[in-house]
């Protein structure tokens, strides 16, 4: 299927980049949870509220800021003892 590990890795990176481009950020007005979906979500994945709306520019910036902190924490191995949860 893939000739080399690098080829497989490049394909995975492209897949992740495409997926990230398709993702939109949403906010839950009830619990203030910020999350991303590639399609319109039916309910908040945290509290189940159905009044989901698209995130404001400020909320998207906040979401990205938190994501960067989490990615840096993962790179530093701070989450290595916690079980892996699919995103």
Interface residue list for Zn ion (CB under 5 A): 28, 30-31, 33, 44, 46-47, 49
Nearer to Zn ion, 31 or 74 (CB): 31
- Least Å distance, CB 28 to Zn ion, is 3
Q: If phi over 0 gives left and psi between -120 and 50 gives alpha, with beta otherwise, what is residue 85?
A: beta
Gap between the Cα atoms of 35 and 55, Å rounded: 9
Nearer to Zn ion, 49 or 78 (CB): 49
Q: Are 62 and 34 in contact (CB under 8 A)?
A: yes
- Least Å distance, CB 51 to Zn ion, is 9
Gap between the Cα atoms of 66 and 8, Å rounded: 29
Nearer to Zn ion, 44 or 55 (CB): 44
């Amino acid at each position: 299927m893939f000739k080399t590990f690098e080829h497989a890795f490049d394909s995975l990176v492209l897949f992740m980049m495409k997926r990230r481009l398709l993702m939109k950020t949403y906010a839950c007005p009830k619990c203030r949870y910020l999350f991303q979906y590639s399609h319109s979500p039916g309910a908040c994945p945290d509290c189940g509220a159905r009044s989901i709306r698209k995130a404001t520019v400020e909320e998207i910036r906040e979401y990205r800021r938190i994501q960067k902190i989490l990615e840096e924490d993962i790179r530093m191995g701070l989450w290595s003892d916690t079980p892996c949860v699919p995103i």
